[in-house]
């Protein structure tokens, strides 16, 4: 178990981040829930973490802002004295049809790359010295879009492909003390896809497993990668019910 260990979950207030936070809390880890806008949801998730007999705290920071990220990591070390796990679950997209090239505004590119690539790097860089001390690990939530080039927009797909490459680069430079992996879900039934539930269900029709992916399905892969897969680094695990094979 992970009694006394500390996990930082960026974007941990809702969805996949929330499920990972609760799963790690159930193993005895103390949880830091990062958020940028979802203050109410972050507080609610912290309460659920505390109910499991561990400590759940919230910290506001925009992962795309390096100064805020460094201040967040400093505050975590000041409050807990250690950092064992980092889950990069913060993400952003603007939904633009893939064929609508003119609709893909420069600001959408900037947001996608700032949060989904630079933000992951900023968090990992600031956390690295502390993770090395505890021989910790990192898991980033990427996307199937990073493999197949399809998704909510071209900018999002490119950014998630970059995050997959970043996983490989960080796995090399932070070894042997820190393992770095990522997971690449297909569409997940979270508030991210609110109003698009029919599209999510359609995606999984005819796939080998023939069922919709929920945040708990992603958490079920993230947590073992964090805590148990001691010989796995630089890898990205696809979570799509077998869709990529088709």
b/e map 176-194, b = 16+ CB within 10 Å: eebbbbbbbbbbbbbebbe
Mean pLDDT along residues 3-14: 96
For CA atoms 194, 120, 34, 213, give the dihedral sign: positive
Cα 118 to Cα 64, 90, 154, distances in angstroms: 6, 11, 17
Residue 1 lies in a domain: no
Q: For the segment 200-213, what is each residue's pLDDT rounded down to a tens digit? A: 788 889 889 998 88
Looking at per-residue confidence, does 190 or 174 come out higher?
Answer: 174
The tokens of 133 are what?
């001390």
Q: Which residues contact 30 (CB under 8 A, 6 or more apart)?
A: 4, 5, 6, 7, 54, 55, 56, 57, 80
Residue 245 lies in a domain: no
Going across the sheet that includes 30-35, the strands are: 56-60, 30-35, 6-10, 85-88, 137-141, 179-185, 236-239
- 108 as an active site residue: the answer is no
Mean pLDDT along residues 56-67: 98
Confidence (pTM): 0.95
Residue-number span of the structural domain to which 81 is assigned: 6-240
Band (199; pLDDT cuts 50, 70, 90) = confident
Token pair 């952003």: residue: 92
pLDDT surpasses 80 at 196? no
Residue 155 lies in a domain: yes
Q: For the segment 111-146, what is each residue's pLDDT rounded down to a tens digit? A: 999 999 999 999 999 999 999 999 999 999 999 999
pLDDT at 194: 74
**Catalytic-role residue among 35, 85, 108, 156:** 156
Count: domains in the chain: 1
pLDDT at 116: 98
pLDDT at 10: 98
Residue 246 lies in a domain: no
Band (12; pLDDT cuts 50, 70, 90) = very high
Asked whether the beta carbons of 30 and 5 are under 8 A apart, the reply is yes
Residue 47 lies in a domain: yes
Strand partners for 184: 238
- The CATH code of the domain that includes 76 is 3.40.50.720
Residue 16 lies in a domain: yes
Q: How many residues does the chain have?
A: 246
pLDDT at 36: 94
């Amino acid at each position: 178990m992970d009694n006394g260990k500390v996990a930082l979950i960026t974007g941990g207030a809702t969805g996949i981040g929330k499920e990972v936070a609760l799963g790690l809390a159930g193993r005895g880890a103390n949880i830091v829930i990062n958020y940028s806008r979802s203050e109410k949801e972050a507080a609610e998730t912290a309460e659920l973490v505390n109910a499991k007999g561990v400590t759940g705290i919230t910290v506001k920071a925009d992962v795309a802002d390096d100064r805020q990220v460094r201040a967040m990591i400093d505050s975590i070390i000041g409050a807990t004295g250690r950092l064992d796990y980092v889950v990069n679950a913060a993400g952003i997209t603007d939904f633009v049809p893939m064929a609508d090239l003119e609709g893909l505004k420069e600001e959408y590119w900037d947001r996608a790359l700032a949060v989904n690539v630079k933000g992951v790097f900023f968090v990992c860089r600031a956390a690295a010295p502390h993770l090395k001390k505890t021989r910790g690990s990192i898991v980033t939530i990427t996307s199937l879009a990073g493999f197949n080039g399809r998704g909510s927009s071209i900018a999002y797909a490119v950014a998630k492909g970059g995050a997959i490459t970043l996983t490989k680069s960080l796995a090399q430079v932070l070894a042997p003390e820190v393992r770095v992996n990522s997971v690449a879900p297909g569409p997940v039934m979270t508030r991210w896809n609110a109003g698009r539930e029919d599209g999510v269900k359609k995606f999984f029709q005819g796939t080998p497993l023939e069922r919709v992916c929920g945040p708990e399905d992603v958490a079920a892969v993230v947590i073992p990668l964090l805590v148990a897969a001691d010989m796995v680094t630089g890898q990205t695990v696809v979570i799509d019910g077998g869709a990529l094979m088709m």
